[in-house]
A and B are shown apart, each in its own frame.
Chain A
């Protein structure tokens, strides 16, 4: 199932992963000849996909990739998990901050 909106994709992906961490995989498919990237998150029941051919979306790809690394390597990241939800709302600024911090960022509590 393709999700058009990146923010929705991002939130749903993280939620899907957190529901079943060991069964969920994240795939980045890059089709060079067509200049197309497809991100896919699936636990074999639900399948979320996001497709783009725009260069500006690289930043989004970077963002979701850098959130999945800590999630998958360390597992539970409560602080980051909360941030992920918060990040989704204040997208551009938070994305930049996150990219700069390489996935580790200061807690933001409103």
Chain B
């Protein structure tokens, strides 16, 4: 499991989607109170982070997003996801498809 910074994570995620046109990609998000190893006493009130993992069955990558970073990160991640999924998913039969 490789713990990456948010930006490299996003580019790895993109590559992972590119590589797995015949397979699956899982993204898991959870709230974490994981501490950097230096801080021994966790302060329950602050510094929860959002832990994000991606997995294609062969490689795992992960990153953490702090409350200050999430807005930008979530936008970028959604764009990557949509980019990867948009071509594959079925269009609606109506004319009005996105």
The interface of chain A, by Cβ under 8 A from chain B, is 21-22, 24-33, 35, 37, 52-59, 61-62, 65-66, 68-75, 102-104
Contact of B92 among A31, A56, A70 (CB under 8 A): A56
Are B89 and A28 within 8 A (Cβ)?
Answer: no
Within 8 A of A (CB), among B9-64: 17, 20-33, 48-51
CA distance A31 to B57 in the complex (A): 12
With A26-B28, A32-B23 in contact, do A65 and B70 touch (Cβ < 8 Å)? Answer: no
Interface size of B by Cβ–Cβ distance < 8 Å?
A: 42
With A24-B30, A69-B65, A69-B70 in contact, do A56 and B98 touch (Cβ < 8 Å)? Answer: yes
Are B89 and A73 within 8 A (Cβ)?
Answer: no
Are A72 and B86 within 8 A (Cβ)?
Answer: no
CA distance A31 to B30 in the complex (A): 21
Are A25 and B29 within 8 A (Cβ)?
Answer: yes
Within the complex, the shortest CB–CB distance from A104 to chain B, in Å, comes to 6
Are A65 and B23 within 8 A (Cβ)?
Answer: no
Are A21 and B31 within 8 A (Cβ)?
Answer: yes
14 contacts between A and B (CB under 8 A): A22-B32, A25-B29, A27-B29, A30-B25, A32-B88, A33-B21, A35-B90, A54-B89, A65-B77, A66-B75, A72-B70, A73-B50, A73-B66, A103-B71
